[in-house]
Amino acid sequence: MQRVNLPLCPFLGPLADGQPQPRTILPPDYETQPFKYLPPKIVQSDAELDLAARYEKGNFSGGYVTSQIAFFRRGPSAEQHQERRAKFRRLKAEVFRRGLVLPKAFVELVESDDYVSRLRHNGIWIQLPDDLVPLPSDPEHTLFLIFGEGQGCGYWLLLLAPDGGHVVTFSEHPFGLRNIYAGGYEPDLA
């Protein structure tokens, strides 16, 4: 089978040899309307979709990197969207039950199949927790996993405060995911 020559992504590159990195000027409303600036959903050829489907099943005969790119560009399936929405509904209800607040922009992002399908951040994906994790030093504050790096090297979490505030934190551990570590080897949050 001949390899598919995937086109360069105009949003992420890579740039052609010798081309200067484009200078990015952010529009004035990027902070108030961030989703307006998401890239369009990628429309893939039948050959790219075939590569993605084979990659998902562990068949790398189209070339590992080419197949992986096709898979990442394909985005979530309808079933994955449905699972994300159901999990998020449960988590959002638990956040509300605890008297905490998720940022409106994050809620809007996670609840939109269109927005999630248009995300392409180079191996960093939405990753929702199985459980909310109270902060040991102050259990009124809660960690909520939001993004994970594709190789398991880094995770971004919201630290939700009882006054309705939040900060984004980074960790090398996916706090809130179950069954990631063998018994007795879980990281110590404290």
Quick one: tokens of 7?
């086109």
Tell me what the pLDDT averaged over the chain comes to. 86
- For residue 171, give every residue at least 6 positions away whose Cβ sits within 8 Å of its Cβ, in sequence order, or none: 154, 155, 157
Quick one: tokens of 64?
């590992």
Radius of gyration of the chain (CA): 19
The Cα 102–Cα 164 span in angstroms is 8
The Cα 13–Cα 20 span in angstroms is 11
11: pLDDT confidence band, cut at 50, 70 and 90? Answer: low
Residue found by looking up tokens 């902070």 in the block: 31
To the nearest whole percent, how much of the chain has pLDDT over 90?
A: 54
Query: What does the pLDDT read at residue 112?
Result: 96
Query: What does the pLDDT read at residue 140?
Result: 93
The Cα 45–Cα 181 span in angstroms is 39
Dump pLDDT digits (tens) for 60-96: 998 999 998 888 888 888 999 999 999 999 999 999 9
On the question of pLDDT at 97 being above 60, the answer is yes
The residue among 18 and 64 whose pLDDT is bigger is 64
To the nearest whole percent, how much of the chain has pLDDT over 70?
A: 82
The Cα 36–Cα 182 span in angstroms is 42
Query: What does the pLDDT read at residue 102?
Result: 97
Inter-residue contact 51 to 70 (CB < 8 Å): yes
The residue among 14 and 155 whose pLDDT is bigger is 155
Query: What does the pLDDT read at residue 152?
Result: 82
- Name the nearest CA neighbour of 172 among 149, 146, 142, 190: 149
On the question of pLDDT at 13 being above 60, the answer is no
Dump pLDDT digits (tens) for 124-168: 889 999 999 998 889 999 999 999 987 888 999 999 999 999 999
Q: Residue 108 carries which DSSP code?
A: H
The Cα 124–Cα 152 span in angstroms is 10
Inter-residue contact 133 to 91 (CB < 8 Å): no
Residue found by looking up tokens 């309307």 in the block: 33
On the question of pLDDT at 1 being above 60, the answer is no
The residue among 5 and 73 whose pLDDT is bigger is 73
